[in-house]
Amino acid sequence: MDQEDRIALFLDYENLALGVRDHHGGRAFDLRPIADALAERGRVVVRRAYADWSYFDEDRRMLTRSHVELIEIPQRMGASRKNAADIKMAVDAVELAFEREYISTFVIGTGDSDFTPLVHKLRELNKRVIGVGVENSTSALLPPACDEFLFYDRLEGVEVPPAAGRRGRAARPAGTGAPPPAERPAGPPTELPAEAAPAAEEAARDVDTLAVLVAQTVAGMQGSSSGEVTASGLKRTLLRKDPTFSESDYGFRTFGELLRHLAGHNVIELAAGPAKGDPEVSLPERGDREVAFALLRSVVVDLAGEGGAAALSGLKDQLRRARPDFSEKKLGYRSFLQFCKAAATSGAVELRWSAEAEDYLLTPQTA
């Protein structure tokens, strides 16, 4: 138990409850999905919810059964109840951060950007901050400030009405919160294939984008550190880049399943890591890279001819005509120029800057 994170949960209850009511077809807020998600991340030792409870009388019993301490912020004539609750919650969180050093993680349940300074202060105090909010009522300023952000709508056990649309990632494969077929609006049978095809294409594009993100992240971690890149370290880095990242949004049950999928498509390689269940992640040193370098050389030969040279500008389009799925980013390169420099280093082509052409010129490597 000493290795577990100690978690303090603070809920801006009015923001969450009204967000669920307004965007989930009038349904009531349920704490259980949040509690289950936090149980996977550590031991919750503090649970507090702030509101004028005369407005949420029916919710008291549900929260009390979950051992949540209800902090009463009564509404007074002519006073701002919302500001009073926000200030009280922020003061209590900072006070707890100083008084309870063993608490390593603070969970702030709200979508209100007014809590962004609180998040920054807690992180200054070396606390990990997880945000929780309803997707359509969460300010765009709040998630990037957190170490991790959980959208209530995407948590396991939350039933989202079919009419409630997603922002951002439009397609979510079955099993990741998409409504079952029986709940989807009925339509003429002839329309279903036309609707299903764009959804499948969108899901494929999402996974393709994810492959690029993972490859670039691994390449950056390998370049900035002499140590190995582990799966746990990679997940933490992805969350730092995008606190809303979740492998379940792409149809994977676990991060390990996602990595195995990418390894099966030669985006990354997996090897035994320093701990069981935490494999080492690296980019392929051979295979797809050598094939890509050979493709580049063949295209340069076709364009340059005998003793000629091919300009870098427009070369990527030529590669994609020969191989439509070509992407230097999937191979871990941040730009096409970086990919060409790597190909030159490997001996596939020669690369030089031409002041006359004001462009890089590539020629086939001579033996």
Would you call 282 helix, strand, or coil by DSSP? strand
pLDDT of 169 higher than 50: no
What does the longest C-alpha to C-alpha distance in the chain come to?
87
Q: How many CA atoms lie within 13 A of 357 on its CB side?
A: 12
pLDDT of residue 157: 79
Greater model confidence, 307 or 122: 122
Query: d(Cα 122, Cα 105) in Å, to the nearest integer?
Result: 9
pLDDT band at 190 (very low <50, low <70, confident <90, very high): very low
Residues 6+ apart with CB under 8 A from 55: 14, 75
Identity of the amino acid at 98: F
- From the CB of residue 360, how many other CB atoms can be counted at a distance below 10 Å? 19
pTM as predicted = 0.61
pLDDT band at 112 (very low <50, low <70, confident <90, very high): very high
pLDDT of residue 194: 42
Distance of CA 314 to the CA centre of its chain: 32
Query: d(Cα 200, Cα 198) in Å, to the nearest integer?
Result: 5
**Mean pLDDT across 91-108:** 95
pLDDT of residue 225: 61
Greater model confidence, 187 or 365: 365
Would you call 323 helix, strand, or coil by DSSP? coil
pLDDT of 201 higher than 60: no
The per-residue DSSP string of 301-352 comes to HHHH-TT--EESTTHHHHHHHH-TT--TGGGT-SSHHHHHHHHHHHTSEEEE
Q: What percent of the chain has pLDDT over 70?
A: 81
pLDDT band at 341 (very low <50, low <70, confident <90, very high): confident
Across 53-62, 119-128, 248-257, 329-338, the highest mean pLDDT is recorded for: 119-128
Answer for the pair 19, 12: CB distance below 8 angstroms, yes or no: no
Q: Which residue has the tokens 């997940």?
A: 235
Greater model confidence, 72 or 192: 72
Angle at 212 between CA 206 and CA 218, to 5 degrees: 135
